[in-house]
Protein backbone atom coordinates (compact mmCIF):
# COMPACT_ATOMS: atom_id res chain seq x y z
CA UNK A 1 0.00 0.00 0.00
CA UNK A 2 1.34 3.40 -1.00
CA UNK A 3 0.36 6.56 0.87
CA UNK A 4 0.67 9.96 -0.76
CA UNK A 5 0.21 12.87 1.65
CA UNK A 6 0.01 16.61 1.43
CA UNK A 7 0.25 18.08 4.92
CA UNK A 8 0.04 21.54 6.39
CA UNK A 9 -1.73 23.26 3.50
CA UNK A 10 -2.44 26.77 4.84
CA UNK A 11 -5.56 28.68 3.86
CA UNK A 12 -6.93 31.99 5.14
CA UNK A 13 -10.65 32.40 4.51
CA UNK A 14 -13.74 34.10 5.96
CA UNK A 15 -15.28 30.77 6.91
CA UNK A 16 -17.18 30.24 10.13
CA UNK A 17 -20.58 30.36 11.76
CA UNK A 18 -20.12 33.69 13.54
CA UNK A 19 -20.36 37.17 12.01
CA UNK A 20 -16.91 38.03 13.39
CA UNK A 21 -15.40 35.22 11.30
CA UNK A 22 -16.74 36.80 8.10
CA UNK A 23 -15.01 40.08 8.99
CA UNK A 24 -11.79 38.62 10.41
CA UNK A 25 -10.85 35.55 8.33
CA UNK A 26 -9.66 32.39 10.05
CA UNK A 27 -6.47 30.50 9.32
CA UNK A 28 -6.90 26.82 8.45
CA UNK A 29 -4.46 23.96 8.06
CA UNK A 30 -5.36 20.94 5.94
CA UNK A 31 -3.85 17.45 5.68
CA UNK A 32 -4.81 15.00 2.92
CA UNK A 33 -3.68 11.36 2.76
CA UNK A 34 -4.44 9.09 -0.19
CA UNK A 35 -3.86 5.31 0.01
CA UNK A 36 -3.46 3.23 -3.17
CA UNK A 37 -2.65 -0.43 -3.69
CA UNK A 38 0.60 -1.32 -5.38
CA UNK A 39 1.62 -4.60 -6.98
CA UNK A 40 5.05 -5.91 -7.82
CA UNK A 41 5.65 -5.90 -11.54
CA UNK A 42 2.89 -3.40 -12.28
CA UNK A 43 3.15 0.34 -12.74
CA UNK A 44 2.23 2.21 -9.58
CA UNK A 45 -0.67 4.66 -9.70
CA UNK A 46 0.27 8.34 -9.88
CA UNK A 47 -1.31 10.61 -7.28
CA UNK A 48 -0.57 14.21 -8.24
CA UNK A 49 -0.47 16.27 -5.06
CA UNK A 50 -0.75 19.47 -7.12
CA UNK A 51 -4.31 18.33 -7.93
CA UNK A 52 -4.95 17.80 -4.21
CA UNK A 53 -3.73 21.32 -3.50
CA UNK A 54 -5.99 22.73 -6.25
CA UNK A 55 -9.00 20.87 -4.82
CA UNK A 56 -8.39 22.30 -1.34
CA UNK A 57 -8.00 25.82 -2.74
CA UNK A 58 -11.22 25.54 -4.76
CA UNK A 59 -13.28 24.29 -1.80
CA UNK A 60 -12.37 27.11 0.60
CA UNK A 61 -15.03 29.61 -0.45
CA UNK A 62 -16.83 32.15 1.77
CA UNK A 63 -20.23 30.46 1.33
CA UNK A 64 -19.12 27.66 3.69
CA UNK A 65 -19.70 27.92 7.43
CA UNK A 66 -18.83 24.55 8.93
CA UNK A 67 -15.64 22.48 8.90
CA UNK A 68 -17.83 19.43 8.29
CA UNK A 69 -18.94 20.90 4.93
CA UNK A 70 -15.35 21.56 3.94
CA UNK A 71 -13.98 18.15 4.94
CA UNK A 72 -16.77 16.31 3.10
CA UNK A 73 -16.32 18.32 -0.09
CA UNK A 74 -12.52 17.95 -0.14
CA UNK A 75 -12.81 14.21 0.57
CA UNK A 76 -15.43 13.69 -2.16
CA UNK A 77 -13.46 15.59 -4.79
CA UNK A 78 -10.19 13.82 -3.99
CA UNK A 79 -11.90 10.41 -4.24
CA UNK A 80 -13.43 11.43 -7.58
CA UNK A 81 -10.08 12.66 -8.90
CA UNK A 82 -8.15 9.50 -8.05
CA UNK A 83 -10.04 6.36 -9.08
CA UNK A 84 -7.21 4.15 -7.77
CA UNK A 85 -7.57 5.47 -4.21
CA UNK A 86 -8.54 2.77 -1.72
CA UNK A 87 -8.90 5.25 1.11
CA UNK A 88 -8.68 9.01 1.62
CA UNK A 89 -8.27 10.89 4.88
CA UNK A 90 -8.83 14.63 5.15
CA UNK A 91 -8.24 16.67 8.32
CA UNK A 92 -9.06 20.36 8.56
CA UNK A 93 -7.93 22.46 11.51
CA UNK A 94 -9.11 25.95 12.34
CA UNK A 95 -6.11 27.54 14.05
CA UNK A 96 -6.82 29.60 17.17
CA UNK A 97 -10.62 29.60 16.84
CA UNK A 98 -12.35 32.65 18.35
CA UNK A 99 -13.38 31.13 21.69
CA UNK A 100 -13.40 32.43 25.25
CA UNK A 101 -10.39 30.21 26.13
CA UNK A 102 -7.06 29.96 24.36
CA UNK A 103 -7.32 27.00 21.96
CA UNK A 104 -4.63 25.90 19.51
CA UNK A 105 -7.10 24.50 16.98
CA UNK A 106 -10.40 22.80 16.35
CA UNK A 107 -10.31 19.86 13.95
CA UNK A 108 -12.58 17.72 11.80
CA UNK A 109 -11.33 14.56 10.03
CA UNK A 110 -12.98 12.22 7.56
CA UNK A 111 -11.38 8.89 6.67
CA UNK A 112 -12.90 6.29 4.40
DSSP structural state of residue 51: H
Residue 16's pLDDT is: 86
Residue 25's pLDDT is: 92
Cα four-point dihedral sign 42, 82, 71, 54: positive
Question: Which residue ranges of the chain lie beneath pLDDT 70?
Answer: none
Query: Domain map of the chain by residue range?
Result: 2-111
Residue 35's pLDDT is: 97
Element (H, E) at 29: strand 26-36
User: How many angstroms separate the Cα of 31 from the Cα of each of 79, 85, 89, 100?
Assistant: 15, 16, 8, 26
> Are 59 and 11 in contact, with CB atoms under 8 Å apart?
no
Q: Is the pTM value of this prediction over 0.75?
A: yes
Nearest CA to 78 out of 65, 64, 88, 67 is that of: 88
Kindly report the CATH number that applies to the domain delimited by 2-111: 3.30.1130.10
Q: Is 52 exposed, middle or buried (0-12, 13-18, 19+ CB in 10 A)?
A: buried
Residue 80's pLDDT is: 97
Q: What is the pLDDT of residues 72-103, one digit of tens each?
A: 999 999 999 999 999 999 999 999 988 899 99
Residue 17's pLDDT is: 85
Residue 61's pLDDT is: 87
Amino acid sequence: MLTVSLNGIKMVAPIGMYAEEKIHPNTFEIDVDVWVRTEDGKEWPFIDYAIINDIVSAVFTPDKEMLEQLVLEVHTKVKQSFADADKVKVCIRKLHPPLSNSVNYSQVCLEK
